[in-house]
């Protein structure tokens, strides 16, 4: 038999734990857990369901025969009914009370919410690890001066640690968004065919209190604290919009980090780890392409593009429900989470061993600081009694000439030497060297870094201290 297409997200990029959350086994096992929770709640509230029926359902939960379910679906052309029959075959005494009073969305939508909750929690735990690693990196390099770049042109110096804090701050926001989204998911509950709970009200002979209690029991059994008070047949797709916004925002943060690292790799100031036997190019043996960072950008663009999808789905839900969201969401929700997982695995891997080249960073500082220091030199010369306008003009002439030599002749900067030789400026080389010390130009970068790490970042790490260490093993 020929191989058939499989998503590279599950076969190549995403982790096994995230892939499992959207696997057939997890989904159909959750359907059965929902049917069991419904039956247990109905029994508790007085419907004629026996202990043996509950026990049979419990014992058959893991006995999932996907082949049998597929055969039923071919005949019935309805996936939920197919699995009701397949489950009933495994617990025949309970066959008649499985799915009692429910509609398909009871299992499909509530399962989607459970998958989303578990996936957000998993993603959150991995972002915590990235935060830990960037926190340590920023602390280690808090005082390492480096050129900053605006418009990718040299600008006032900052520190490597301060730059890492910019990445870290975005991820802390993503972490907060993940937690908020997971905690505030609202369970669909037991709403019935059009959301009115009419079938359950009939089962309980008009007892509204029992219908409410049933929904509370099922909600609690499935680990949710919030219920949608109003729904049609399905939960409002606004929840998908909120979740996708969190994922795409995380993708944006990740793309920014990976793009910055790619730019820094070009400058040879920083780079992602490079394996001993890794090949950078099939044609150019010397290449050290930032493959992992490029992959983050590639995956992030795909995830960002998915953000638009649930907006259309929500906009086109007709009245109490329509089925044109089904096939779409089978694709978009799992693919979004698997993509986010693939990205965070790469972030974990890269930030665990970021490579910094201080000598190159220092070299770039030396090349640019003479130009950045001209304002300091001007002020110092004026303090020593020189005419401000004369010094400004001399500095302008020297700077333009030095820039010309660098660009047209490929020569190193000679600006400081020329300034020291100019009697109109009147400063000695030692004075000028002191004025061009990078620490004079970084403002409060070091203080800002330590304050941020000690306050915002550390408090978050303490909050999540119980989350274990995650080691991302990127094989490909």
Distance between CA atoms of residues 163 and 165, nearest Å: 5
* Active site annotation includes 151: yes
Distance between CA atoms of residues 290 and 91, nearest Å: 54
Distance between CA atoms of residues 416 and 145, nearest Å: 20
Distance between CA atoms of residues 25 and 31, nearest Å: 10
E strands along 160-280, which residues? Answer: 270-271
**Residues 65, 133 contacting (CB under 8 angstroms):** no
Domains annotated on the chain, with CATH: 9-97 (1.10.275.10), 105-208+224-274+285-357 (1.20.200.10), 374-435 (1.10.40.30)
Please list, in sequence order, all residues whose beta carbon lies within 8 angstroms of the beta carbon of residue 367, skipping any fewer than 6 positions away. 412, 413
Average pLDDT, consecutive stretches of 10 residues, N- to C-terminus, the chain (476 residues): 83 94 96 98 96 96 94 93 95 95 95 97 96 96 95 91 97 96 96 94 96 96 95 94 97 98 96 70 62 96 96 92 89 96 96 96 88 83 89 90 88 85 85 82 94 91 87 75
Residue 411 DSSP SS3: coil
Task: Report the predicted TM-score, pTM, of the whole model to 2 decimal places.
Answer: 0.90
**Residue (of 300, 289, 294, 295) closest to 254 by Cα position:** 300
**Residue (of 38, 49, 44) closest to 110 by Cα position:** 38
> What confidence score (pLDDT) does residue 436 get?
81
Task: Report the residue count for the chain.
Answer: 476
Instruction: Find the catalytic residue in 59, 281, 305, 459.
Output: 281
Q: How far is CA 380 from CA 132, 389, 391, in A?
A: 43, 13, 10
> What confidence score (pLDDT) does residue 381 get?
87
Q: How far apart are the first and last CA of the chain?
A: 26
Please list, in sequence order, all residues whose beta carbon lies within 8 angstroms of the beta carbon of residue 62, skipping any fewer than 6 positions away. 29
**Residue (of 265, 255, 412, 437) closest to 346 by Cα position:** 255
> What confidence score (pLDDT) does residue 225 get?
92
* Active site annotation includes 202: no
Please list, in sequence order, all residues whose beta carbon lies within 8 angstroms of the beta carbon of residue 264, skipping any fewer than 6 positions away. 270, 271
Beta-bridge partners for 422:
none
Backbone Cα Rg of the chain: 31
Please list, in sequence order, all residues whose beta carbon lies within 8 angstroms of the beta carbon of residue 323, skipping any fewer than 6 positions away. none
Q: Is the dihedral of CA 319, 183, 213, 31 positive or negative?
A: positive
Ramachandran category for residue 268: left, alpha or beta (phi over 0 → left; psi -120 to 50 → alpha): left
Task: Find the helix packing angle between 79-90 and 51-60, rounded to 10°.
Answer: 110
């Amino acid at each position: 038999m020929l191989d058939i297409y499989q998503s590279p997200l599950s076969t190549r990029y995403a982790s096994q734990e995230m892939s499992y959350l959207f696997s057939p086994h997890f989904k159909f096992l959750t359907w059965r857990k929902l049917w069991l929770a419904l039956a247990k709640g109905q029994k508790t509230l007085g419907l004629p369901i026996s202990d043996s029926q509950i026990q049979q359902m419990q014992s058959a939960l893991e006995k999932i025969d996907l082949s049998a379910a597929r055969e039923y679906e071919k005949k019935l052309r309805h996936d939920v009914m197919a699995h009701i029959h397949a489950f009933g075959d495994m617990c025949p005494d309970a066959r008649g009370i499985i799915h009692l009073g429910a509609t398909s969305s009871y299992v499909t939508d509530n399962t989607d919410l459970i998958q989303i909750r578990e996936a957000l929690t998993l993603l959150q735990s991995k972002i915590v690890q990235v935060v830990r690693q960037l926190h340590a990196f920023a602390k280690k390099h808090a005082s390492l001066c480096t050129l900053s770049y605006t418009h990718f042109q040299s600008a006032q110096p900052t520190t490597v640690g301060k730059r890492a804090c910019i990445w870290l701050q975005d991820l802390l926001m993503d972490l907060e968004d993940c937690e908020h989204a997971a905690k505030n998911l609202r369970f669909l509950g037991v709403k019935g065919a059009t959301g009115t709970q009419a079938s359950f009200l009939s089962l309980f002979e008009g007892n509204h209190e029992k219908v409410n209690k049933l929904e509370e029991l099922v909600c609690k059994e499935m680990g949710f604290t919030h219920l949608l008070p109003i729904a049609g047949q399905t939960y409002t797709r606004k929840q998908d919009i909120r979740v996708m916004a969190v994922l795409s925002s995380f993708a944006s943060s990740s793309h920014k980090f990976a793009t910055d690292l790619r730019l820094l790799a070009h400058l040879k100031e920083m780079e992602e780890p490079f394996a001993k036997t890794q090949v950078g190019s099939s044609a150019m043996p010397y290449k050290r392409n930032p493959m992992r960072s490029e992959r983050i950008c590639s995956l992030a663009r795909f995830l960002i593009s998915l953000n638009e999808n649930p907006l259309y789905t929500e906009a086109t839900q007709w009245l109490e429900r329509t089925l044109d969201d089904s096939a779409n969401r089978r694709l978009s929700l799992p693919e979004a989470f698997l993509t986010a997982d693939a990205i965070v695995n790469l972030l974990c891997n890269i930030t665990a061993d970021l490579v910094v080249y201080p000598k190159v960073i220092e070299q770039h500082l030396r090349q640019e600081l003479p130009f950045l220091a001209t304002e300091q030199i001007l002020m110092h010369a004026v303090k020593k009694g020189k005419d401000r306008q004369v010094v400004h003009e001399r500095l302008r002439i020297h700077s333009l000439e030095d820039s010309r030599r660098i660009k047209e002749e490929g020569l190193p900067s000679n600006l400081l030497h020329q300034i020291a030789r100019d009697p109109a400026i009147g400063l000695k080389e030692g004075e000028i060297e002191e004025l061009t010390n990078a620490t004079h130009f970084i403002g409060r970068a070091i203080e800002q870094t330590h304050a941020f790490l000690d306050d915002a970042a550390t408090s978050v790490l303490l909050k999540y201290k119980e989350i274990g260490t995650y080691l991302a093993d990127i094989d490909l």
